[in-house]
Chain A
Amino acid sequence: METYQVDLSEIALRIRREIVRMVYSAQSGHPGGSLSIADILTVLYFKEMNIDPKNPTDPKRDRLILSKGHASPALYATLAIRGFFPISELSGFRKIDSHLEGHVSREIPGVEVSTGSLGQGLGVGVGMALAGRLDHLDYHIYVILGDGEMEEGNVWESLMAGYKYNLRNLTAILDRNGIQLDGYTRDIMPLHDIHSMVESFGWNVIEIDGHSFSEIESAIEKSKTSERPTFIIANTVKGKGVDFMENNPKYHGSPPESEELYRRAMRQLGEEL
């Protein structure tokens, strides 16, 4: 068990290094909200999800929708490391001769849905969960949302639909990092009590430390057997793992400004330079 935990840590660190490398190479992109979900993606893709990189369109596969599509570096890095496409392709991120679009694109192996405009992924997840039920397939749908994204009305409409159809095969995971583009979510548009708000919509709500592998794993396991759709509030740190990015709204959508900062970030993420 102990060695397994170490493996997950190494994978998460590797994902974080690739995130920083991608945005620095592209000189654009969203590192903060990518670093905050690296641990969640690690547990999902390397432990929990039923997926096969050699058969990415298997009808029985689990599906993940990254509704906060600006965190594309995190998903692309995860998919590449998991074997859906060569890691060397990550260097093409946001460049004209690459398929790695700025925001999540379905053209990329392993990606289920193109996203990038906030608020829509949970609805798409509702549709996929309904399809799974109609087809009598017991796959599970995971949707990762940002907390700024909760300001979109579409999310709340889809929460109502998830309750109405009691989609037990649907799990939403909220990356609760507290920061959006213009600043702190509590200043821009506070979510008064997100836990009870979502609970009152009829969902099973679980609150965890979004950087604890064991808590992430346990919450996802619980969601698989829940009698209701599950909403996991993962408390996270935006920019997690890089000291000057942590909890800094500036790094929502900006790469490290200098070679020196880039090297500092990579050293902190375990790169031997």
Chain B
Amino acid sequence: MKSESLRDAYGKELVKLGSKDADIVVLDADLSSSTKTGYFANAFPDRFFNMGISEQSMVTTAAGLALSGKKPFVSTFAIFLTRTYEQIRQSVCYNNAPVRFVVTHGGITVGEDGATHQIVEDVGIMSGLPNMNVIVPSDSIETRSVIDYLANVDKPHYVRLSREKFPVINDEDYEFRIGKSITMKDGTDLTIIADGVMVSKSMEAAEQLKKQGISARVINMPSIKPIDRDAIIRSARETGHIVTAEEHSVYNGLGSRVAEVVSESYPVPVRRIGMRDTFGKSGKAWELFSYFHMDVKDIINEAMTCLEEKNYENIP
């Protein structure tokens, strides 16, 4: 399976959007060569603002641009945006200023830079903000479609991208829809709901489970807020047990949101894969998944545990 960079897809799509829409402006905080907004800076220097290593200034300025009819895209590393939580809350979300935060280097796939740069709390932080939508794309194709969608939104959005290239898993004609999930693989025994890079890992797990005669449904849930409640409840009804997988803390991320939905509407056991109240660490990006028990084998283990529980429940 080929892999592609999500941030590179973002940077190039942004240039395409910029050539069609003169209201698109881009702000970065001295990381444009890493976030790939540098492409836009080269193409449209008058509409690119490098705010320096001053994230609070960047976010409040973006709010002012958005409130004046511009369409600001704001990029830095995920970790550094969260230092401006309160500017995002007050100046962006409370004003309902349609600022598009597209951050890169989310999660543990930052790799060697280590714990200081591997944020695994951001999805939870952003999801708690009124007016904010939160999206975690799974590959480059989905990223491009999300960026196109952002051109004409009327409220704040947070999009989390990665440093590493991710396997390309979506079809070329894929079209992102806010609040909607994609069933990547149908199944009847259990459902795996994932976002980001964990979607491809879940598909791999489902292939291996199939060899053992287990039918796992795999759902790609890029829209964390609003979340696709219908798809979650349907899976709970149709397959029972759910496994969630995210490159994020199990607190306040995808797993928590799924558990909330089933608890309110159709309770089934939900087993969550993700970071368990811990910081990341230095290492090769792809080694870290095994280290933190978030790899394909761990998804398979959770799925097997689900089925054991299910069989136990079925004993007359």
Chain A residues close to B by CB (< 8 Å)? 59, 106, 112-117, 119-132, 134-135, 153-154, 157-158, 160-161, 164-165
How far is the CB of A265 from the nearest CB of chain B, in Å? 31
> Which residues of chain B come closer than 8 Å to A153, judged between CB atoms?
56
* Chain B, Cβ-Cβ closest to A123: B60
Contacts of A131 in B (CB 8 A): 64-65, 68-70
Assess whether B54 is in contact with A127, with CB atoms less than 8 Å apart. no
Report the bound CA distance from A119 to B94 in whole Å: 15
**Whole-angstrom CA separation of A157 from B64 in the bound complex:** 15
Once A127-B62, A130-B61, A134-B47 are accepted as A-B contacts, the answer to whether A120 and B67 lie under 8 Å apart by CB is no
The 9 closest A-B pairs by CB, nearest first: A127-B64, A123-B60, A131-B68, A157-B57, A157-B54, A124-B64, A127-B61, A154-B56, A127-B65
CA distance A251 to B195 in the complex (A): 52
Query: What would 5 more interface pairs be, CB under 8 Å, given A120-B56, A128-B65, A135-B68?
Result: A113-B91, A117-B89, A125-B64, A127-B70, A134-B47
Q: In the complex, how many angstroms separate the beta carbon of A122 from the nearest chain B beta carbon?
A: 8
Among B64, B69, B72, chain A packs the most CB atoms within 10 A around the CB of B64
23 A-B contact pairs sorted by A residue (CB < 8 Å): A113-B63, A113-B64, A113-B67, A114-B94, A120-B60, A120-B90, A123-B59, A125-B64, A126-B61, A127-B60, A127-B65, A127-B66, A127-B70, A127-B72, A130-B25, A130-B61, A131-B65, A131-B69, A131-B70, A132-B68, A134-B70, A154-B60, A165-B49
Least CB separation from B93: chain A residue: A114
Contact B61 A123 (CB under 8 A): yes
Q: Which residue of A lies closest to B94 (CB)?
A: A114
A134-B70, A160-B52, A161-B57 known; A124 vs B63 contact (CB < 8 Å): yes
Binding site for A on B (CB under 8 A): 25, 46-47, 49, 51-52, 54, 56-57, 59-70, 72, 86-87, 89-91, 94-95
Within 8 Å CB of B86, what residues of A?
A: 117
Distance A121 CA – B60 CA, assembled complex (angstroms): 7
A130 vs B87: C-alpha distance when bound (angstroms): 19
Q: Which residues of B contact A128 (CB under 8 A)?
A: 64-65, 67-68
From A124, which residue of chain B is reached at the shortest CB distance? B64
Give every chain B residue within 8 A of A165 (Cβ-Cβ).
Answer: 49
CA of A115 to CA of B59 in the docked complex: distance in angstroms?
Answer: 14
Residues of A within 8 A of B72 (CB): 127
Question: Residue B60 contacts which of A112, A126, A135, A160 (CB distance < 8 angstroms)?
Answer: A126
Q: Is the pair B25, A134 in contact by a Cβ cutoff of 8 Å?
A: yes
- Main secondary structure, interface of B, reads helix
Partner of B91, one of A120, A129, A160: A120
Known contacts A127-B67, A157-B56; decide if A113 and B95 are in contact (CB<8 Å): yes
Q: Is the CB of B47 within 8 A of A158?
A: no
Contact B67 A124 (CB under 8 A): yes
Q: How far is the CA of A160 from the CA of B29 in the complex (A)?
A: 13
Chain A residues contacting B89 (CB-CB under 8 Å) are 117
For A126, list chain B residues within 8 Å (CB). 57, 60-61, 64
Q: How far is the CA of A31 from the CA of B57 in the complex (A)?
A: 29
Taking a contact as CB atoms under 8 Å apart, the answer to whether B67 and A112 are in contact is yes
**B49, B57, B87, B91: which has the most chain A beta carbons within 10 Å?**
B57
- In the complex formed, the residue of A with least CB distance to B99 is A127
Give chain A nearest CB distance to B23 CB in angstroms: 9
Q: Judging by beta carbons under 8 Å apart, are B90 and A116 in contact?
A: yes
Chain A residue nearest to B50 in the complex (CB):
A164
Smallest CB gap from B22: residue in A: A134
Tell me the smallest distance from the CB of A161 to a CB of chain B, in Å: 5
> Residue on B with the closest CB to A153?
B56
B26–chain A nearest beta-carbon distance, Å: 12
Contact call B54/A161, Cβ cutoff below 8 A? yes
Kindly provide the distance from the CB of B186 to the nearest chain A CB, expressed in whole angstroms. Answer: 46
Residues of chain A within 8 A (CB-CB) of B87 are 120, 123, 154
Chain A residues with CB under 8 Å of B25's CB are: 130, 134
Q: Are A130 and B90 in contact (CB under 8 A)?
A: no
CB pair B63–A123 under 8 Å, yes or no, is yes
